[in-house]
Structure 1
Amino acid sequence: MTVPSRSVRHPVRVAHLGLGAFHRAHQAWYTQRAGDGSGIAAFTGRSAEAARVLAAQDSVYTLLERGADGDSATLMEVLSEVHDGADLDAWRRVLADPDVGVLTLTVTEAGYRPGSSASSAASSSSAPARVLDGLRARYAADAGGIAVVSCDNLPDNGRVLRDAVLSVAEPGSDLEAWIRSEVSFVSSMVDRITPATTDADREAVRRLTGWDDAAPVVTEPFAEWVLAGSFPAGRPAWEAAGAQFVDDIAPYERRKLWLLNAGHSLLAYEGLAAGHETVAQAVADPALADELELLWSEQRTELPFDAPTVDDALAALRARFGNARIEHRLAQIGTDGSQKLGPRILDPLRSRLAAGREPGRAQLGVLAAWSVHLAGPDVRDPGAAALVERLREAAAPRERAIAVLEALAPDLTDLTDPLAERIAARQQGAHA
């Protein structure tokens, strides 16, 4: 079957940076389901490949929702334009359009790099610099304000993005003043498990739809989006698709980061060490399932929700993690731990200590498992390059504990001994 004919090409109302599978399963899905005719102009992040593949099939693709009982396929037509992120003319044209009221981003935690050097942050290829470049074009065109929405797993991600963008703007310039007064930076909490698409997934789409889709996206039926902030130039009716708009997003961010994302990190580092490849395989391992429950018991005390609300959230997570039809690869989850473990593990650990509670054994266990992972052969974490070398030279658990805490949490060096105990246990392959 040839590429399905589009039923419509919506006018562009939203720009997006980071044309990956998650965006196409989440923000694009919400925008299409909003049903108000909003189209998206999407730009790639680091690689132009996704734009090349999608452009060859008129920017349409299949979204395969894979539930425990079967699959359902949706033809996605919400991408009106797709571009190589290096196409600055297209980027500036889209951002300068007054009809475009929202810019969303999925550039991963590493894309913000709070610890980056000024030269790196100012690089024309960095996400903050790209946003600034687009805002400069909008300002020059007198196109009015815009909302910039972060959709990455960082606490208060709108503020983080705002600070990053302003850090590369010229201090005291008219552009900086305009950004401060006319551009809103919206924080959002996003949730939808979206594993990397495999050849088997593409074959499943072919059998289900009859279309040889080169860019399908596989995801779970569950989806959540919570947003906090203003939209000076309007927005799609995302609430019609189930999005929530709240005044304080922090509790929702913590619930997601400290339960789902922290659980994923535990299963990734401990599961890979145990020979597992997917979340479902890891959570089916009784020892890992027990460690996961221990982690959740340590994290839940720090959440500002009542017990029934947390119980419901955990029940949903157990079902989602156990869905073996979603092959969420542990290697994919385990990338860039140096960027992820701070908000997922260290922040709730600090909260426990501030409340006078003992540090969580499972919390320390995640750090320990990560340290052992970094000392191994298959590491994908550019932000931890210096730590990797140090860990490979330091075999003693206490030396490794010192290295990890100095790299990630120098304020927590009092935990060196209990972390060393956990590292020793992980080195021996123990979960207890």
Structure 2
Amino acid sequence: MKAVHFGAGNIGRGFIGAILQQSGYEVTFIDVNDEVIDRLNQDGKYEVVLADETKESFVVNGVNGINSKENPVAAAAAVAEADIVTASVGPHVLPFIAPVIAKGLSERQAGVSVNVIACENMIGGSDQLKEEVEKHLSPEDAERVFAQAGFPNSAVDRIVPIQHHDNPLTIEVERYFEWVIETTGLKGEQPVLKGALFVENLVPFIERKLLTVNTGHASIAYNGLLKGYKTVKEAMDDPEMIHLLEGVLEETSIFLTGKFDLDKSEHQTYVKKIIERYRNPYISDGLDRVGRAPLRKLSAGDRLTYPAVGLSNHVEPVNLEKTIAAALRFNITEDPEAVQLQEWIKQDGPAAALEKASGIEAGSEMSNRIIGYYQQSN
């Protein structure tokens, strides 16, 4: 069996690519990083190390790579022959891989189904990728392609810390992972993927992960940076940070269990597991990296504004509002979104910048509370 995975980065090699290989697939990674692609073709394997006290490791064999920038024809041909196509390139990069996927799908043998799964930290990633692919197909080709190509949405969760190794292919990941795939978008037989969970309705799993793992991470990053911390570990050693984190996740828990009728006891077990993952000293990450892309993280459907607004008619989401205020202070010059956010604040003031980023109306009760916290943090 053949798998094509777009994105030979940390998640691609340490998570999705590893599962594909363990599930019996020969994996072709498609990327534009010359060093990584050349090394994949040279070695045909790489090592994955578990980020805990055991330092257990395993080798992912039978892999190769294609540089889609230098050889888009070969990349499309690989898609045309694949039994499954996956991607972990980042939400903003999906439009750039779509042309190659569209060409590859249009060249596939008639009647041979395939599933294309976007493994991104976003809601509806495969839906978005399908929309981008359709832009590069004629109406006739689109009808034929989508009749045999499924785009099931998925939710993924695995923390990969910042790391440096002598071998650029070696990757260290946490032991825990979750890959949930929605069956309604599948075409043909359900693929065999070791450790993946297939469900009829993905939405509760996506939102549970987004509003627990990602919201929690954002709380640690933005509030930790305000106190001068540089890493997740430093922030998690501060009882005040943990108290605020627990408050944030209590608020998102109220939102989630109310919206999806989740079992409250089971959800609390999940929340505790997530907090323990943050405590793992082997996967401590830099807070500036965790907090990057603040405009996306403040946007209306994302990890901070979405639950805060959803709760506001029932309870005052104090901890989420404090975290939103802290996000307005995120000022990392290497991050284009942070630079843009600070320019908006400088030009129009924090309330107007907040409205532009999140949709929270300037002058509203929520906006006034957030700006109050923002001013207190100065």
User: TM-score, normalising length from structure 2?
Assistant: 0.90
Q: Choose which of 184, 196, 202 in structure 2 pairs with 1:243.
A: 196
Distance 2:210 2:83 in 1: 28
Say whether the 8 Å CA contact 1:402–1:413 is kept in structure 2.
Answer: no
- Residue in 2 that maps onto 1:83: 66
- What is the identity, as a one-letter code, of the residue corresponding to 1:106? S
- Residue in 2 that maps onto 1:430: none
- Residue in 2 that maps onto 1:318: 275
Q: Choose which of 26, 39, 49 in structure 1 pairs with 2:15.
A: 26
Distance 1:368 1:82 in 2: 43
Q: Choose which of 398, 401, 404 in structure 1 pairs with 2:354.
A: 404
Three-state SS of the structure 1 residue aligned to 2:151 is strand
CA distance 1:134–1:277, change in 2 (3 Å): farther
- What is the identity, as a one-letter code, of the residue corresponding to 1:194? V
- Residue in 2 that maps onto 1:189: 155
- Residue in 1 that maps onto 2:177: 223
Whether 1:214 aligns to 2:168 is yes
- Residue in 2 that maps onto 1:391: 345
CA distance 1:338–1:181, change in 2 (3 Å): same
Whether 1:349 aligns to 2:349 is no
- Residue in 2 that maps onto 1:137: 107
- Residue in 1 that maps onto 2:127: 159
- What is the identity, as a one-letter code, of the residue corresponding to 1:328? D
1:193-213 deviations in Å (ceiling 9; x for gaps): 111222xxx3xxxxxxxxx63
CA distance 1:270–1:102, change in 2 (3 Å): same
Say whether the 8 Å CA contact 1:63–1:75 is kept in structure 2.
Answer: yes
CA distance 1:362–1:410, change in 2 (3 Å): closer
Shift of 1:101: 2.0
- Residue in 2 that maps onto 1:17: 6
Distance 1:14 1:265 in 2: 33
Stretches of structure 1 that go unaligned for 5 or more consecutive residues are 1-10, 113-120, 203-211, 428-432
Whether 1:94 aligns to 2:83 is no
CA distance 1:289–1:245, change in 2 (3 Å): same
CA distance 1:250–1:413, change in 2 (3 Å): farther
- Following superposition of structure 1 onto structure 2, how do residues 114-125 of structure 1 map, counting pairs within 5 Å? none
Say whether the 8 Å CA contact 1:31–1:78 is kept in structure 2.
Answer: no
Whether 1:290 aligns to 2:240 is no
Say whether the 8 Å CA contact 2:354–2:362 is kept in structure 1.
Answer: no
1:184-228 deviations in Å (ceiling 9; x for gaps): 111111111111222xxx3xxxxxxxxx63321111111111111
Distance 1:233 1:192 in 2: 28
Shift of 1:163: 2.6
Distance 1:362 1:403 in 2: 20
CA distance 1:272–1:386, change in 2 (3 Å): closer
Three-state SS of the structure 1 residue aligned to 2:49 is strand
Say whether the 8 Å CA contact 1:64–1:218 is kept in structure 2.
Answer: yes
1:29-82 deviations in Å (ceiling 9; x for gaps): 222332xx311111115x3332133333x2311101022x32111111152x21
Shift of 1:26: 1.3
Identical-pair percentage: 21
Distance 2:362 2:41 in 1: 49
- Residue in 1 that maps onto 2:41: 55
Whether 1:38 aligns to 2:25 is yes
CA distance 1:54–1:318, change in 2 (3 Å): same
Q: Choose which of 228, 253, 260 in structure 1 pairs with 2:206.
A: 253
Stretches of structure 2 that go unaligned for 5 or more consecutive residues are none
Aligned alpha-carbon RMSD (Å): 2.3
Distance 1:299 1:92 in 2: 42
- Residue in 2 that maps onto 1:205: none
Whether 1:146 aligns to 2:146 is no
- Residue in 2 that maps onto 1:5: none
Equivalenced residue count is 369
Distance 2:287 2:39 in 1: 26
- Residue in 1 that maps onto 2:142: 176
Distance 1:15 1:228 in 2: 19
User: TM-score, normalising length from structure 1?
Assistant: 0.79
Distance 2:316 2:356 in 1: 17
Distance 1:255 1:300 in 2: 8
- Residue in 1 that maps onto 2:216: 263
Three-state SS of the structure 2 residue aligned to 1:186 is coil
